Structure 1
Amino acid sequence: MGLDITTLRVTFGAVAVTLFVLFYLVSYRQTRSAYSGWWCAAIAFIFVGTIGYLLDGTPQQVWANPLANAVLVAGTVSVWAGARTLRTTRPAVVQLAAAPLLTLLASAVDDPATNTWSGGPVFLGMMALTIGLASWELWHLPASYRRVQAPLAVASGLLALLYLARCIVFLAVGQDGYVFTTYFGSATSTLVTMLLLVVVAFSAAALSAEQVASALRIRADRDALTGLLNRSGFLDVARLQTDRLARAEHPGTLILADLDFFKAVNDTYGHAAGDAVLQAFAESATTTVRSTDIVGRYGGEEFIFLLPGATVSRSEDVARSISMALRTYGAAPGLEMPTVSYGITAIEASDYDLMAAIASADRALYAAKAGGRDRAVPAPRIDRSTEAVAAEAREAGRLGSQ
């Protein structure tokens, strides 16, 4: 007994409506993210396109079939656009419109009044292309999405392969060929697409939940005023980077920076001006350092930097450049930017011990403050053999006094 295409399409439409309602309520209303919005649009387009095919065999198919083809392709384009927003930005308008418009044009000129498969090769090819692009985007998502991306990318990839196979067979044997009608006809493909849509939609919902969790983690690790990593966020990232430096035996430096006489800024100009100064320093710092350097707000008016691969001399140059950028920063009229003191230490001098490096940089920062401020002071390089001899001498003296 063959599959009833009309019943399958009605069922497919009902599934699409259900998924749209669930996805809208569970995902989009909670996140308001571009990704969730694109997925809601995709499901809506797929529903409308499927309903359009119910007019096959009626006088309305002359416009319904070309429109349904174009709307279905618009749905798969929306899936691609949603996946793209998780990696970069949404595609340009011309990229979004190209595939649906080409499908509409090809279907409209291929005798849609009598040909239920008008524009078939273009429609199938565009479906394969756009779903394949979505699968590629999903597979290359950032590491934070790895737990939920695989089912979504694989299901999308399988669906793309199905439409590619349909396109190839359609071109080889035609719409009435035995292989196409038996294995790749509308009934079989609608059933497979419906099953994959359920898998994709629930995976997409899980991905949306992961997006919310990722955003919450980012907010928890960021300082709300400056946008830099907060202390705990910096320490988490810096520990990982320090471990990499240790494994590769590469150098690095750590800088502690403190705005000089910052309290006077608050007392003279008010706390809003103080916030503006902190934001100005954060922007001066982030535009000066490399993309591979790590910058955080350590607390109050104190900031911390980890510069992988940099020497102490290079870090002194970075400190001077940040101070110069801060001095020339366009602040409010009458507001003079404070000077900055820096303490710098080489990471390898602390045997890649992050907390020891911070303590060393803190001592150097104290020396910069005591030396007149507005300067960068490098911590003295620790000679481990000398330090060991001194420690043994202190221990011998302690025992001798007992």
Structure 2
Amino acid sequence: MTLDITTLRVAFGAVAVTLFVLFYTVSFRQTRSAYSAWWCAAIAFFFTGSTGYLLDGTVHQVWANPLSNTLLVMGTVSVWAGARTLRTSKPAWLQLSAAPLLTLLASVVDPPATNTWSGGPVFLGMMSLTIGLASWELWRLPSSYSRVEAPLAVASALVSVLYFVRCIAFIAEGQNGYVFTTYVGSGVTTLITLVLLVVVSFSAAALSAEQIATDLRARADRDALTGLLNRSGFLDLAALHTDRLARAGRPGALILADLDFFKAVNDTYGHAAGDAVLRAFAEASTETVRSTDLVGRYGGEEFIFLLPGASAARSEDIARDVSMALQGRRAPDGFDMPTVSYGIAALDALDYDLDATIAAADQALYAAKASGRDKAVRAIRPAGTTGGSSAEPPHGSVRTP
């Protein structure tokens, strides 16, 4: 039996419906991940778009053909948007709507009542572009993902190349050209896409589960109140950064910061005000440090910084800038933001031991508190020793002008 294009489209629709039901019930309802939601949307668009072509040759072709072109492009755009949620975030709505709107416009102005390939070059070009972008996003996934995305990336790339070849052949020969009809016609493309859709759905389900696992890992490393790294998350990343500094022989600095008289804020203005102060300090810190620096909430009102490549003097400047940024924020109920005390310890050739450096910074912080607060104190480590430290006299106040 010869499978004509109508039979293939019916088969494609049946497979798409089956995959949608399975993916929705097994993947999306269990994970609720953004990726699985976009993949469900993609399958739905592919199904409705392919079904619309069944109206070709009828009086409904005038609206069904442009709509089908647009829906299929919306399907590939959904694949791209889903891939972006795995790495960064979804594109803006303008980016999502550009390709479908261009396809719709081209299909409407190219008499769809008499031309089943209305807007053909634009439709084929947008399909190639958007699915190619999805493949590119999948290849750029961070190392935290396993390589389950590889089949999906390869399949997306193959479909992108296929539509690119179709676009070139269509422009060169037209819809009735030999190369276009024989090698990259609708029947061949529908069959290939049908097979790839089944194959990549398994990878899509695995990626959806990995997205949830990655999100959970990220949440486990973050402090819920401030959004900073929590203690364990900071220490894990700081250990990696310290190892890199040691291998490269580069210096660094570690700062422990403690909000002065923070208990008085909670006792006087309530815990909601205290929480607002902690968030304000977190914001002041992240706005001040570089993107390569680490900032974490060490516990309670105590915070910790790791500054790769920074000297002790530069660390004092950063502490002063953080305090100034904090004082520039409005506190709830109009009270003054608390001052901050800092203990600074160097990471250098004398000692790259993270635990010892934290202990040294803690002793320096204690000295800053004992000598009047609202200042930064550097730790001094005896030469040739590891772990032992003392504190220099305060190197000036970090009070804001």
TM-score, normalised with respect to structure 1: 0.89
Deviations 1:158-202 (A, max 9, x none): 100111112222233333333322221211111100111122332
Task: Give runs of aligned pairs for residues 156-305 of structure 1, distance below 5 A.
Answer: 156-305=156-305
CA contact (8 A) 2:255 2:304 kept: yes
Secondary structure of the equivalent of 2:345? strand
Equivalent-residue separation in structure 2 for 1:306 and 1:332 (angstroms): 30
Following TM superposition, by how much is the alpha carbon of 1:374 offset from its aligned partner in structure 2, in angstroms? 1.7
CA RMSD of aligned residues (A): 2.3
Deviations 1:279-299 (A, max 9, x none): 222122112111111011111
Q: Does 1:18 align with 2:25?
A: no
Instruction: Report the equivalent of 2:380.
Output: 380
- Please identify, of 43-52 and 265-274, the stretch whose mean Cα deviation from structure 2 is larger: 265-274
Task: Give runs of aligned pairs for residues 46-65 of structure 1, distance below 5 A.
Answer: 46-65=46-65
Instruction: Report the equivalent of 2:394.
Output: none
Instruction: Report the equivalent of 1:400.
Output: none
Following TM superposition, by how much is the alpha carbon of 1:217 offset from its aligned partner in structure 2, in angstroms? 0.5
Aligned residues: 388
Following TM superposition, by how much is the alpha carbon of 1:124 offset from its aligned partner in structure 2, in angstroms? 1.5
The one-letter amino acid paired with 2:11 is T
Task: Give runs of aligned pairs for residues 336-351 of structure 1, distance below 5 A.
Answer: 336-348=336-348, 351=351
Equivalent-residue separation in structure 2 for 1:140 and 1:243 (angstroms): 26
The one-letter amino acid paired with 1:365 is L
Equivalent-residue separation in structure 2 for 1:270 and 1:173 (angstroms): 76
Equivalent-residue separation in structure 2 for 1:336 and 1:285 (angstroms): 18
Instruction: Report the equivalent of 1:397.
Output: none
Following TM superposition, by how much is the alpha carbon of 1:70 offset from its aligned partner in structure 2, in angstroms? 1.7
Equivalent-residue separation in structure 2 for 1:9 and 1:315 (angstroms): 65
TM-score, normalised with respect to structure 2: 0.90
Instruction: Report the equivalent of 1:8.
Output: 8
CA contact (8 A) 2:261 2:338 kept: yes
Instruction: Report the equivalent of 2:399.
Output: none
Q: Does 1:138 align with 2:124?
A: no
Deviations 1:84-129 (A, max 9, x none): 3334443343433332233233333434334333332222222111
Deviations 1:236-288 (A, max 9, x none): 00011111111111100001112222222222222222222222221221121
Secondary structure of the equivalent of 1:145? coil
Equivalent-residue separation in structure 2 for 1:65 and 1:360 (angstroms): 72
Secondary structure of the equivalent of 1:144? coil
CA contact (8 A) 1:9 1:50 kept: yes
CA contact (8 A) 1:3 1:188 kept: no
CA contact (8 A) 1:350 1:357 kept: no
Instruction: Report the equivalent of 1:68.
Output: 68
Equivalent-residue separation in structure 2 for 1:350 and 1:363 (angstroms): 18
Equivalent-residue separation in structure 2 for 1:256 and 1:95 (angstroms): 43
CA pair 350-270 structure 1, distance change in 2 beyond 3 A? farther
The one-letter amino acid paired with 1:359 is A
Larger Rg: 1
Equivalent-residue separation in structure 2 for 1:171 and 1:321 (angstroms): 60
CA contact (8 A) 1:151 1:200 kept: yes
Equivalent-residue separation in structure 1 for 2:19 and 2:110 (angstroms): 33
Secondary structure of the equivalent of 2:380? coil
CA contact (8 A) 2:351 2:386 kept: no
CA contact (8 A) 1:16 1:43 kept: yes
Equivalent-residue separation in structure 2 for 1:268 and 1:114 (angstroms): 78
Following TM superposition, by how much is the alpha carbon of 1:354 offset from its aligned partner in structure 2, in angstroms? 0.7
CA contact (8 A) 2:356 2:387 kept: no
Equivalent-residue separation in structure 1 for 2:128 and 2:23 (angstroms): 24
Secondary structure of the equivalent of 2:144? helix
Secondary structure of the equivalent of 1:384? coil
Equivalent-residue separation in structure 1 for 2:80 and 2:33 (angstroms): 15
CA contact (8 A) 1:349 1:381 kept: no
Deviations 1:3-35 (A, max 9, x none): 332222111111111222223233433444443
Instruction: Report the equivalent of 1:113.
Output: 113
CA contact (8 A) 1:350 1:382 kept: no
- Please identify, of 136-145 and 212-221, the stretch whose mean Cα deviation from structure 2 is larger: 136-145
Equivalent-residue separation in structure 1 for 2:376 and 2:330 (angstroms): 24
Instruction: Report the equivalent of 1:395.
Output: none
Instruction: Report the equivalent of 1:152.
Output: 152
- Unpaired stretches in structure 1, ≥5 consecutive residues: 389-402
Secondary structure of the equivalent of 1:333? helix
CA contact (8 A) 2:359 2:387 kept: no
CA contact (8 A) 2:357 2:387 kept: no
CA pair 350-207 structure 1, distance change in 2 beyond 3 A? farther
Following TM superposition, by how much is the alpha carbon of 1:348 offset from its aligned partner in structure 2, in angstroms? 1.2
The one-letter amino acid paired with 2:36 is S
Q: Does 1:101 align with 2:101?
A: yes
Equivalent-residue separation in structure 1 for 2:283 and 2:59 (angstroms): 64
Equivalent-residue separation in structure 2 for 1:202 and 1:32 (angstroms): 17
Which is richer in helix? 1
CA pair 301-8 structure 1, distance change in 2 beyond 3 A? same
